[in-house]
Amino acid sequence: MKIVYSELEKLHHPQYEFSFGKLVPYPEKNIRAQIILEELKKRSMGDLVVGPDEFPLDHLKAVTDPEMVDFIQSCEHLKEDESVFPHIFPYRDFTPDFSAHPRINLKKAGYYAFDVGIEIDRDTFTAAKASVDVALTGADLIRSGREERVFSLCRPPGHHAGYSHFGGYCIFNNAAVAAHYLSTMGKIAILDVDFHHGNGTQGVFYEQPEILYVSLHGDPAESYPYFSGFADETGSRLGCGTNVNIPLPAGIGDDQYRKYLEQGLLAVSEFHPEVLIVSLGLDIYKEDPLSNIGVSSGFFSEIAARVCSLNIPVLGILEGGYDMRDLGVNGANFIESLATTG
């Protein structure tokens, strides 16, 4: 078992976001992965931590619009006090000329963003690419046969980012990049237990028969991202049947969540994947400010144990989780159980 982490992930550090018309403190703190790491070290698991390798951009661009990647990378040339915040949204039904602004391409930010929750500065690409490398390093440890289980402490998270859009605190889709990298082994399954539906991951693989996406999440009729995650979204074309959405009713706890988890695990088991990627959202915790369901802290250990019971290699990837008081314990509970379950 290995745990992958990079200090570079902290460089992306927005201070505020617009939420329902108000400017509020940015909830996706840059120290989220570090807090979990510190708790793991308290549990004498620090010797399992490794740094990431650096991978070519080709792996990222295989599941991400190369022009969007290049745009975010171009923001490295911003000054220290400059940032790009999407507030101009070109229509998708025409092709605008994006060469007008001499330094900051304001139109492109709105062209690729699907919400106003992300600010891009000169460090954003470095942090987001490091998060991708953390995921790819975990995937490589499994693909090479060196490890059966790995947890990648990715930050920024990724499951809202799609082929040609970013948003929801996500720049690049770490799980999607890892799944594509692992797909040379055969069929890959992704189990997403973040409270918010992973619209980006679903979109990337919606027509892919060899990659199963299973998501347990808050009902999109009342929960972010609102426009995806409904049960009738099951995939299309060759991917018909390889997308499983399980919307959750508000107010459920451990006992009720367990039933839905078993439904998701059954779908994974029947798919017979070579590797299972778990997009771990710690925002299903009962004290999380951005969730309307709530499992206990100890339940994260149970989720990991049930995942391990499938007896296939597992790559865990950190997604959301915004209760900073218990974030470290909750994340460490999952990772420790992943490492110790027989």
**Catalytic residue positions?**
160
- DSSP string across 9-42: GGG----EEEETTEEEE-SS-TTHHHHHHHHHHH
Residue that the structure tokens 């990298």 belong to: 181
Cis status of the peptide bond prior to 249, with omega within 30 of 0: no
**How far is the C-alpha of 114 from the C-alpha of 111, rounded, in Å?**
8
Question: Which of 241, 188, 181 is closest to 211 using CA atoms?
Answer: 188
Question: Which of 41, 35, 2 is closest to 330 using CA atoms?
Answer: 35
- DSSP string across 130-194: HHHHHHHHHHHHHHTTS-SEEEE--SS--TT--SS-BBTTBSS-HHHHHHHHHGGGS-EEEEE--
CB 323 within 8 A of CB 28: no
